[in-house]
Structure 1
Amino acid sequence: MPKMMPNAVCLLVISLLVGLSQETSINVGFPELKSREINVRSDDSSSSSSEEDDVTAISETVVLCSSFKIFATRKTRADAKAACEGLGGMLAVISDEDTYLAVTEELRKHRPLSTAFWIGLSDLDSDGEFVWEDGTVLKNRCFSVWEDGQPSTEDCVLLKRNFKWKTQKCSRKRGYICQLPVADCPTDCTSCITI
């Protein structure tokens, strides 16, 4: 049975290549932990007849109990949010340093980036009060990576190519990052499963 390590920071990074069509083994290792080979299978079951909706994640990273899928296809924030919800998730909540580092590490693998990415932070409901998609108010968190001079008067937040947050008009088309729950996640999401 897997050993549970409470309060451990556990980052499991999986890079998926676009077009992966069969089961592939990826070796995942941690400095203090034994390496483990896992199997990854792409999900081609959600194909669509619309070119706009026919989108493949350029990369994916798993942090604790969430999978973060990165999409380069440009959409408005509302369309990006709907796309994430259609996958069973939401726009990414990047509210701590571990998540930020894991997501930006994945983005670095795809440099040069051709777009910035919508994340799940906005002040759409109350001007000046930024709230994450999970309902967490930003001011209640100590972590932020605003670009100098930000936030501005715009309502929606994106992660720029320099990995800083910037507000922008929600109607602009950008890439986006979805956050989805991970199956078989321990009830205590601050724990780490080691093999």
Structure 2
Amino acid sequence: MLSYSSYTLTAVAALLVTCCALPECPGIPEPPGTPGLPGKDGLKGQERLTGLTRPSGNFLGPLRRDRLPWSQGVPVSLDSELHNVLVNLKPRLCRLEGVLALNEKIKVGGEKIFASNGKEVDFASALKSCEEAGGTLATPMNEEENKAIMGIVKQYNRYAYLGFTESRVSGQFQYLNGVPLNYTKWHNYEPNGKGTEKCVEMYTDGSWNDKKCNMRRLTICEF
């Protein structure tokens, strides 16, 4: 049996994804009613969780019902207490997001949050730093996300690596999971590395250039 603190940490992790990854801070799902009994909306506890998922911009995948804190046999008394914790944490976390954005510590683009530690390292080191922080290397998938990343690049006035790599076909690039790009912002006449430049950097104007992976570029992560 997990401890109460473990349940709390699990709940907070779920909240960080469903609240702080979105600028509008959507509502928190209500906890289910007493197991086996209908809640106020007439649905049983597990039925009320059907279809709950994390934001699509996050790579953690769907929230599985069997991993939610109240689906693991939490007593009703603790279930209500956890819900109160979430309700109180939500506005605090969203205010914190606002403070970080105001101080230009983060940029919000769609359902993603982008941030930099200000360090310039090679591609592999940048990716490792982002993954250790619980995110991945900044990977713009539309114009809004590209502009958010560009804001950080311009703030530091340094080029930054993006979360793309060259595929087995010379001159064609893909996401880190091997899927071909569905959005691009190449600079004029780029990419032109012809197999020798397997990574991608962003210029201060937001355009992209293929580049060797061993150069030192700004680390920007997405969460």
Matched residue SS, 2:95:
strand
Distance 2:212 2:131 in 1: 21
Q: Give the drift of 1:124.
A: 5.5
Is it true that 1:147 corresponds to 2:187 in the alignment?
yes
Structure 1 unpaired stretches of 5+: 1-9, 14-35, 42-57, 181-195
Does structure 2 retain, via aligned residues, the 8 Å contact 1:59–1:71?
A: no
Match of 1:67 in 2: 113
Match of 1:117 in 2: 160
1:161 aligned residue (182, 188, 204)? 204
Q: Give the drift of 1:67.
A: 1.5
Match of 1:21 in 2: none
Does structure 1 retain, via aligned residues, the 8 Å contact 2:106–2:114?
A: yes
The aligned amino acid for 2:166 is D
**1:100-122: CA deviation from partner (whole Å, max 9, x where unpaired):** 123223444x26x1x20011011
CA 144–11 in structure 1, closer or farther in 2 if over 3 Å, else same: farther
Distance 1:159 1:125 in 2: 22
Structure 2 unpaired stretches of 5+: 1-20, 25-90, 98-103
Q: Give the drift of 1:39.
A: 2.0
Does structure 2 retain, via aligned residues, the 8 Å contact 1:11–1:102?
A: no
CA 117–71 in structure 1, closer or farther in 2 if over 3 Å, else same: farther
Aligned-residue RMSD, C-alpha:
2.8
> For residues 6-45 of structure 1, what are the structure 2 equivalents within 5 Å?
12=23, 38-40=94-96
The aligned amino acid for 1:88 is G
- Structure label with greater radius of gyration: 2
Match of 1:187 in 2: none
TM-score, normalization: structure 1?
A: 0.56
CA 124–136 in structure 1, closer or farther in 2 if over 3 Å, else same: closer
CA 103–11 in structure 1, closer or farther in 2 if over 3 Å, else same: farther
TM-score, normalization: structure 2?
A: 0.50
How many residues in Structure 1 have an aligned counterpart in Structure 2?
127
Matched residue SS, 1:146:
coil
Does structure 2 retain, via aligned residues, the 8 Å contact 1:92–1:133?
A: no
Structure (1/2) with the larger strand percentage: 1
Does structure 1 retain, via aligned residues, the 8 Å contact 2:127–2:136?
A: yes
